[in-house]
Amino acid sequence: MPEEGKGVWTIAVFDGVWSNQQLMKDCGLVPYMFHRVYGFRPAMLGRSAGEEYTNLTKMPGMRLEFLPVSAEGYPDARLRFMREHSGEMDLLVLTGPYHEYTALLSEYRKLRPDGKVYMALDMNSYWADSINRDDPWFTELLGACDVIAASCRRMQEELTRRWERWTIHTIPNGFVNLTGTPLSVSFEQKENIILTVGRIGSAQKANHILLEAFAAARPEIGDWRLHLVGKIDEPFRPYIDQYFAAYPELRERVVFKGLIADKAELYAEYARAKVFALTSILEGGAPNVVAEALFHGCYTVTSDIDAAGDITADGACGRVFPCGDVPALADIFREICPDGALFRNAFPETVAYARRFYDWEVNIKRLYRLLYEGNKM
């Protein structure tokens, strides 16, 4: 077991291009939280997106190691980097599973038999259906990992059933406040706002479901507003124009707020909202925005993605509707929006649940025990 603060390196390896936004997601937060809690030295190895990595200012000690090569040349360059720097790779953090990691882990096990590997399964049911558990590359890849974890219970249970030769744990995509200021979490500051955060207009996020359900429910929900935070995909803009042409009375109640990169400003949006809505067709577990919403006491309404039970605490902190079902979502809005007592009563339970299940400081300690204490929990 490594001693705290003794220069142990934890390195997140990615097969694609690191973006500034990914630093603040689980792929960047896992190595950073090992640094913050245990004094490990964190780094992220990959290719640059050519953008400004402003989130590094919130993650003191984090190192970005970019290999300036093409996508085609990257696997070989990554192997060369490993051979030259294997002494700094005490703990590898991988997000997958991807075939491209097989050669990397095979080489790592030769160079660092004492090293540790954490595989975070960024998986959903559709991805799991496409994998043959008996493929040699897959058995080799998972066999080289010390800890394998899904980010929600439904996937953990499903993968445990499918892949019985490996132990699958649950490590949620959690939350840590890196703004430097305390969270403002109070029910009194909440307004009649339904909030969603993400890539607005992407096929995966299915934001049109949310917009149509809000329009359908509008006669019964009084002064409620809908706020959509995130960069708008250009192909979605004609739909927005058509939406407001069909519902001109909603121009003041449906607000597209754009991308909010500053986390303190984003958290203020969560703090004002009573409801957080997620209409995705699929997700790789629970998206990071869910943990942010729960920490701010938002009652969450979600489509029936794999993490729906976790997101809503099995109904204690939210509601679930069938993916793509506009009438079902509209009915939920009609039922919950007029019920002020529902939100007031759910608020403290939601915040407590978030701190218990989605706190990265709690979950990184659990992951540390799994890696370094012989999987004893």
- 62-80, pLDDT tens digit by residue? 999 999 888 889 999 999 9
Return the structure tokens found at 317: 């902190």
212 in the same domain as 279: yes
Residue 376 has pLDDT above 50, yes or no: no
Euclidean distance between CA atoms 205 and 210, whole angstroms: 10
237 in the same domain as 162: no
Task: Tell me how many domains the chain contains.
Answer: 2
Helices (H), the chain: 26-38, 74-85, 101-111, 125-129, 136-143, 153-162, 207-217, 237-246, 263-272, 288-295, 308-311, 326-336, 340-357, 360-372
Query: Please, are residues 292 and 266 in contact by the beta-carbon 8 Å criterion?
Result: yes
Return the structure tokens found at 207: 């934001």
Question: 73: domain CATH number?
Answer: 3.40.50.2000
pLDDT, residue 122, reads 82
Over range 261-290, report the average pLDDT. Answer: 93
Residue 3 has pLDDT above 80, yes or no: no
pLDDT in tens, 169-180: 999 999 999 998
The total of other beta-carbon atoms located within 10 Å of residue 146's CB is: 15
163 in the same domain as 195: no
Q: Residue 168 is part of which domain span? A: 9-174+359-372
Euclidean distance between CA atoms 291 and 152, whole angstroms: 12
Please, what is the angle between helix 74-85 and helix 101-111, to 10°? 10
Residue 259 in 3-state DSSP? Answer: coil
pLDDT in tens, 104-122: 999 999 999 999 999 999 8
To the nearest whole percent, how much of the chain has pLDDT over 90?
83
Q: How confident is the model at residue 7 (pLDDT cuts 50, 70, 90)?
A: low
Q: How confident is the model at residue 14 (pLDDT cuts 50, 70, 90)?
A: confident
Please, what is the angle between helix 237-246 and helix 207-217, to 10°? 10
pLDDT, residue 1, reads 54
84 in the same domain as 139: yes
pLDDT, residue 16, reads 79
Euclidean distance between CA atoms 59 and 22, whole angstroms: 12
364 in the same domain as 321: no
145 in the same domain as 104: yes
122 in the same domain as 191: no
The total of other beta-carbon atoms located within 10 Å of residue 239's CB is: 14
DSSP calls for 108-174: HHHH-TT-EEEEEE---HHHHHT--TT-HHHHHHHHT-SEEEESSHHHHHHHHHH-TTS-EEE----
342 in the same domain as 220: yes
Return the structure tokens found at 325: 């079902």
> Is 308 domain-assigned?
yes
65 in the same domain as 155: yes
197 in the same domain as 133: no
134 in the same domain as 78: yes
> Is 3 domain-assigned?
no
214 in the same domain as 310: yes
Give yes or no for a cis peptide into 113 (omega within 30° of 0): no
Return the structure tokens found at 171: 């490590």
